[in-house]
Chain A
Amino acid sequence: MKRIAVISGKGGTGKTMVCAALAAIFPPDLVLGDCDVDASNLGLIFQPEIISRSPYYGLKVAEIDQDTCTRCGSCEEHCRFGAIRSQEGEFLVDSIRCEGCSVCTLVCPKEAVSMVQKVNGELYYSNTRIAPLSHARLEPGSGTSGLLVREVRKQADERDGDRAFFLSDGPPGIGCPLIATVTGMDAVLIVTEPSLSGLHDLKRVVTVAEGFGVTIFVAINKYTLEEEIATRIEDYCVERGLHVVGKIPFDPTVIESIRNGRPVTDYDSPAADAIRRMWEEIAEIWVNT
């Protein structure tokens, strides 16, 4: 199975739009993923029909039995995540801050602390008109989004590991969900935009991706909005030895397509043409080798 993720560094550069458009023109024998579990949007384009759902348990969180607790404060003292707070004489666990390390169970002299399971989201496997989709919803405010990304990846592997391609939308940023997304991919497509922030963030995400030894493709979205900066981005990519596979013009059809819940490649438009050409470039380098 060949695996590619669409990522961006900076948020809002058009990752999901590009990912959906690519999915619509990808060769068959594909499974889709949405590793942006914080704000999963690929489904808004493909109206998935959910065929299985399972609860996602994050790490267990601590719970203090107030009847056993002697208020010694040892748990609060040893907790490095600020998850235990004293309030009106009682020690309480802030389950949002708790990282499930269990140190409090270790230091409690009365065994008043136990670790309990908590639902932190939901994992879905769905049918779409393009391909099956592995996706998830994270409970707002939960930690462990990286773990949920791994569940999304695993589900795709387990159910559709014999398919030829895995194409996944990815999260913004360079932290834990991004790293969980890029691990084990063969290639990433970084969608950037012609702004100083876009270029700055591109450099950081490239550094991370290079650490994973994946093939790196770059697409400059809305390049016509700021052609001078787009050129600077291209220069940077050339210097760094990265493939700029596509330059997508600013195109009002993009917003229209998203508002209609369709991939932009369903329309005859400049952005759609650019994405089709981009796929040929990617296929040339990635699929046919």
Chain B
Amino acid sequence: MKIAVASGKGGTGKSTFAANLALSLSKSNDVVLVDCDVEEPNLHLFFDAEHEESEVTVPVPVVDPGKCTFCGKCGDFCQYGAITVLKDDILILMDLCHSCGGCRIVCPYDAITEVPRVIGKVRDSQPDEHLRLVTGVLNEGETHAPVVIQMAKALAGSTPTPAGAVFEHQFRELVCSMADVTIYDSSPGIACPVIETVEGADYVVLVTESTPFGIHDLELAIGVVEKLGIPAGVVINRSDGLDEMTEELCRRHSLEIIMRIPFDRRIAGVQNRGGLFSQDMPEWQGRFTDLYHHIRETGGGGA
């Protein structure tokens, strides 16, 4: 089963939830945890282990000056303004390029080829016998987070590799034909990286907090899962008991509140120092396991 953990607002405790769920389930299942928050991946901070690594590249154009006649067709075609054709030179703004390959197709002189450009990496580690952690990392200054997310999910064995992409590093074995549960930890927000993460999941856990910001952004995130038509449930983190507005929102969207994690400085402290509270407070492992079974029975569908 594939469970995605998302939230509109940042810092609501997605990674906390995902890490504790993974740890708890790994006591009796083979679990793959995938850090799809490639802009700011954090899960490795909770699971210290050696990793193997492979670069993620995207194809970008280079122009052969011997063949180019400066006809301007490539610049004219590029929808992103990445190519400007000067009198006797071609200016390519790499950060605007989306790697669509159109310029190569449109060039009448075969003057354009594509070369790989590194934009990030994916890592595979095994912090525990029954737990694999796959992490996607977007390099600083790069913008194409969805490609790195795709590669991380592909390494986790749960989706095919994107067209033309290869792992230059030979990983032990593609991680996870053996997994019982795959957990995707998403970035905050509601834009393309979140879609890339959540797509293909059997169930989405939306982690929120009962503040006006949390509620406002939860509603946006609900919009995303409704649009994609994936079953979902809500976890209220740092609950101080004042959850009426969140409850009301969930009722309106027929979403079940599947867990409440109370505001507790002990939990916050463990988390801040890179620990996992379900390890220090083992009663939570049972709660996370029960939650998983509940998800399977009520909404998860897929095996």
State the A residues within 8 Å of B (CB).
Answer: 8-13, 16, 38-39, 41, 44, 59-60, 78-82, 96-97, 99-103, 106-107, 138, 140-146, 171-179, 193-198, 200-201, 204-205, 207-208, 211, 225-226, 229, 255, 258-259, 261
Asked whether A44 and B138 contact (CB < 8 A) given A101-B98, A175-B39, the answer is no
User: Which B residues are in CB contact (< 8 Å) with A146?
Assistant: 143
Flag whether B12 is at the interface (Cβ < 8 A). Answer: yes
**Chain B 154-185 residues near chain A, CB threshold 8 A:** 162-164
Whether B188 and A173, one on each chain, are in contact in the complex, defined by CB atoms closer than 8 angstroms, is: yes
C-alpha gap A225/B271 in the complex (Å): 11
B138–A177 touching, CB < 8 Å: no
When the two chains form their complex, are residues A172 and B138 in contact, meaning their CB atoms are under 8 A apart?
no
Q: Is the CB of B188 within 8 A of A172?
A: yes
How far, in angstroms, from A100 to B77 measured CA to CA in the complex?
A: 12
B contact residues around A197 at 8 Å (CB): 15, 40, 42, 45, 274
A13 to B42, CA, bound (A): 14
A99 and B272 form a contact (CB under 8 A): no
Within 8 Å CB of B265, what residues of A? 225
**In the complex, A208→B40 CA distance in Å?**
12
Partner of B40, one of A39, A60, A204: A204
Max chain B Cβ within 10 angstroms of own Cβ: one of A9, A82, A176: A176
Please count how many residues in chain B sit with their CB below 8 Å of the partner chain's CB atoms. Answer: 61
Are A175 and B193 in contact, CB atoms less than 8 angstroms apart? yes
CB distance from B247 to the nearest CB of A (A): 15
**Of A11, A97, A198, A226, which is in contact with the most chain B CB atoms at under 10 Å from its CB?**
A11
* Chain B residue at minimal CB-CB distance from A148: B191
* Chain B residues touching A, majority SS: loop
B191 contacts A99, CB within 8 Å? no
Chain B residues within CB distance 8 Å of chain A: 8-12, 15, 37-40, 42, 45, 77, 79-80, 95, 98-102, 105-106, 138, 140-145, 162-164, 187-195, 211-213, 216-217, 220-221, 223-224, 227-228, 242, 265, 268-269, 271-274
A258 with B213, Cβ < 8 A, contacts A175-B143, A196-B274, A226-B273 known? yes
Residue contact B213 to A16, C-beta cutoff 8 Å: yes
Give the residues in chain B near A173, CB-CB below 8 Å: 10, 37, 39-40, 145, 187-189
State the 10 A-B residue pairs at the shortest beta-carbon distance, nearest first.
A11-B10, A12-B11, A101-B100, A38-B189, A140-B223, A173-B39, A195-B272, A176-B143, A143-B192, A172-B10
**Cross-chain contact A10 with B40 (CB below 8 angstroms):** yes
A105 vs chain B, min Cβ distance (A): 9
- Which of A16, A143, A211 has the most chain B CB within a 10 Å cutoff? A143
A12 touches B143 (CB 8 A): no
In the complex, the chain B residue whose C-beta lies closest to that of A202 is B40
Q: Are A201 and B42 in contact (CB under 8 A)?
A: yes
A226 adjacent to B269 (CB under 8 Å): yes
